[in-house]
Structure 1
Amino acid sequence: MKKLYNNYINTFRGLSIEVWWLSLITLINRAGTMVIPFLSIYLSESLDFEKSDIGWIMTFFGLGSVVGTWIGGKLTDKIGYYKVMLYSLFGTGILFVLLQYASTFEEFCLGIFLVMLVADTFRPAMFVALSAYSKPENKTRSVTLIRLAINLGFSAGPAIGGLIITFFGYKGLFWIDGITCTLAAILLLQVLHPKKAKILDEVKVENPVSVYKDKAFWIFFVAMFIFGFVFLQYFSTMPLYYKEARMLTVLEVGLLMGFNGGFIAVFEMPLIKWLETTKNSKTKLVAIGLFLVAVSFLVLNLTTWAGILILGMFLMTIGEMIAFPFSNAFALDRAKKGNQGEYMALYAIAFSLSHIFSHNAGMQMVDKFGYEFTWNVITVLALIGVLVLLWLMAVLKKEKGTTIL
């Protein structure tokens, strides 16, 4: 047992103190984002919106994310990642508190657009900061530590959120989101100020390659859009499926989604450490992860047994654990060819675009054709994403001989 514990601890060794601070800031921020997993239920139950209306609201969620991520990438290259992260956290805290007062369809569309615009300027800045604070050989594990922080927060968030909703209603969640964003900004101000933080891998390219001319990265972008489209169903249509088709309570939905974060928090770092020793390419590992996510939807249509929900969540969790860290690491490696903010913004925009189409398309399909049809379509789409990643592997092999990123 002691050896197992020591092996687990060793997977964290060698990471910089700045990466640990960035992870703690992310943990504090993410622990408060408990509104998001319950947003579709909140809009349905508290504001009496139809599924089609909820789909359009989630489209504005995605639009705000796309615009914010693009602006964040531009600002990161111009004023630096530190200022962008600081302003984003403070601004998001204020906007989350104000969002609870939106009650009409138009108000919520505008409100969620502004929240995501400000919130997602943080994403490309955080990726560039992570790269700067990490040694080259520690990039994938640094990304994994950030994800560990995200999922520790996410595992606690839905479970606590379910309890808060059960006893106090939804309004308190907006206040918690706002307060935790502000606390994260204050911590950032104290521990990662440029005068205190140590840069370990600052990349300055004399003649940067434009990300818009990088064919391989565009293929990767398409694959990440598909991955995001599929994965994000777990944050809009899936909670409604659990509640409406499988008759789970809000608390049970929170606990099931909390299982995802808790499992990742415990097992992702050792899994990534082991996968790095297998010598598989990053793109191959991402393809394996996306395939597992595809299967997680497929199994839901096989039986009415309640345990299949746990199996589906387990498969999705393993797929996510593999796909996200290695796709992040691929993007960080590729970003060294050009402006890092520009590259990491495009990587994040792939998921932001998914927000625009995924939630709305999922809601519309469920509304018109039901959950079983929707899960079949999502499964096929995920498998198409796997094929795109196999194409990317072939392009990279041709580009760099037998070496694949």
Structure 2
Amino acid sequence: MATLFKNYINTFRGLSTEIWWLALITLINRAGTMVIPFLSLYLKEDLQFTVSHIAWVMSAFGLGSVVGSWLGGKLTDSFGYYKVMVNSLWATGVLFIGLQFLNTFATICLGIFVVMLVADTFRPAMFVALNAYSKPENKIRSLTLIRLAINLGFSAGPALGGLIITGLGYGGLFWVDGITCIIATLVMIKVLHPKKAKVLDEVKVENPVSAYSDGIFLVFLVAMALFGIVFLQYFSTITIYYKDVHVLTEFEIGILLGLNGFLIFVFEMPLIKWLENTSFTKLGLMFFGIVLTGLSLFILNLTSWSGILIIGMLLMTFGEMITFPFSNAFAVERAKKGNQGEYMALYSISFSIAHIFGHNAGLQLTANVGFNNTWYIITGIAVICAIILFVLKENLKTNKTKTSWKTKKIS
């Protein structure tokens, strides 16, 4: 046991102090995002919205995320990641507190749009900051540490969120979320001010390539948007499925969602460390992760036994653990060819687009064709995503072989 623990600790060695601070800031921020998993339930139970209305609110959520990610990339390339991150954090905190006072369909849609626009300017800036604060050889592990912080926050958040709903109602979630964003801002100002933080990998490209002209990257983004549609069912449709079909309480739903974050906290870093040393390519690993995620929804139709929910959560969690770190790393690697903010903004936008269509499609499908057919359709999307990644992997492999052959011929 002592050896196992020592090996686990060793997977974190070599990461910069700034990355650890960035992870702490992310943990504080994400621990408060307990509103997000419960948003569809809040709209349904507290505001008495119809499923159709909830679907459109979630689309407003995604649209705000798209605009925010695009704007975040532009602002990061113009003003630097630090200013964008600080201003995004404190403004998001204030807006989350104000969101609870909106109660009509139109104002909720507008409010969610504005909150996500401001909140998601943070994401491209955070990816660029992560790249700057990490040594080149530690990129994937640094990305994984940030994801651990996110998921540790998500594991505590939903469980705490369930308790807050029980004791204070849904309004308490908005206060906690807003306050944690403001606390994260104060921590960042204290420890990651440009005068204190050490940049380890500042990339400057003389003639940057536009991300919009990088065909391989654009195809990759299509696959990521499809993966996002599948994955995001766990943050809207699945919570209603848990409650309506398996009759789970909000606290039980929070515990089940928290299991996801806990497993990632324990297993992701050792898993990524091990996978880095295998012969699998990043795209090959993403292919496997997407297959697991699609399978996690498909098996829900196999039995009415509630234990299948845990098995589904395990499959989704390992699929997520494999797909996200290596997709992040693939995007960061491609970003070194051009404006980093633009590349990472497009990467963030691919998931924001998934927010626009994923929540809405899942909720509308459940309302019209039922949960069982919805899981079959979403599994089909996962299959299409896996096929795209497989073709892209083979294409890159072929291009690499041709490039190697030409280099040998010239020499």
TM-score (norm 1): 0.99
1:316 Cα offset (Å): 0.1
1:241 aligns with 2:232: no
Quick one: which amino acid aligns to residue 257 of structure 2?
M
Residue 338 of structure 1 is matched in structure 2 by 338
Q: Distance in 2 between matches of 1:396 and 1:207?
A: 23
1:349 Cα offset (Å): 0.2
Quick one: which amino acid aligns to residue 77 of structure 1?
D
Residue 79 of structure 1 is matched in structure 2 by 79
SS of residue paired to 1:370? helix
Residue 4 of structure 1 is matched in structure 2 by 4
1:50 aligns with 2:50: yes
Quick one: which amino acid aligns to residue 260 of structure 2?
N
Quick one: which amino acid aligns to residue 350 of structure 1?
S
1:305 aligns with 2:305: yes
Q: Distance in 2 between matches of 1:231 and 1:4?
A: 31
**5+ residue gaps in structure 2?**
405-411
Residue 269 of structure 2 is matched in structure 1 by 269
Is the contact made by 1:143 and 1:328 (CA closer than 8 Å) also made in structure 2? yes
Quick one: which amino acid aligns to residue 352 of structure 2?
S
Deviation beyond 4 Å, 4+ runs, structure 1:
none
1:403 Cα offset (Å): 8.9
Cα distance, 1:366–1:311 mapped onto 2, change above 3 Å: same
Q: Distance in 1 between matches of 2:61 and 2:187?
A: 27
1:166 Cα offset (Å): 1.1
Q: Distance in 2 between matches of 1:184 and 1:372?
A: 41
After TM superposition, list the pairs within 5 Å mapping 1:114-263 onto structure 2: 114-263=114-263
SS of residue paired to 2:401? coil
Is the contact made by 1:89 and 1:119 (CA closer than 8 Å) also made in structure 2? yes
Deviations 1:191-228 (A, max 9, x none): 11111111111100011110000010011000000000
Q: Distance in 1 between matches of 2:110 and 2:403?
A: 47
Q: Distance in 1 between matches of 2:252 and 2:403?
A: 46
SS of residue paired to 2:338? coil
Deviations 1:377-405 (A, max 9, x none): 0001001100000111122123322799x
Q: Distance in 2 between matches of 1:335 and 1:382?
A: 26
Q: How many residues align?
A: 404
Q: Distance in 1 between matches of 2:402 and 2:110?
A: 49
Residue 103 of structure 1 is matched in structure 2 by 103
Q: Distance in 1 between matches of 2:325 and 2:403?
A: 20
Quick one: which amino acid aligns to residue 334 of structure 2?
R
Residue 386 of structure 1 is matched in structure 2 by 386
Residue 349 of structure 1 is matched in structure 2 by 349
Q: Distance in 1 between matches of 2:77 and 2:97?
A: 30
After TM superposition, list the pairs within 5 Å mapping 1:362-377 onto structure 2: 362-377=362-377
Deviations 1:174-199 (A, max 9, x none): 00000000000011101111111111
1:88 aligns with 2:101: no
Quick one: which amino acid aligns to residue 398 of structure 1?
T
Q: Distance in 2 between matches of 1:91 and 1:149?
A: 21
Q: Distance in 2 between matches of 1:114 and 1:91?
A: 10
Residue 282 of structure 1 is matched in structure 2 by 282
Quick one: which amino acid aligns to residue 124 of structure 1?
P
Quick one: which amino acid aligns to residue 341 of structure 2?
G
Quick one: which amino acid aligns to residue 158 of structure 1?
P
Residue 317 of structure 1 is matched in structure 2 by 317
1:113 Cα offset (Å): 0.3
Q: Distance in 2 between matches of 1:332 and 1:279?
A: 20
Q: Distance in 1 between matches of 2:10 and 2:403?
A: 29
Residue 39 of structure 1 is matched in structure 2 by 39
SS of residue paired to 2:265? helix
Is the contact made by 1:216 and 1:395 (CA closer than 8 Å) also made in structure 2? no
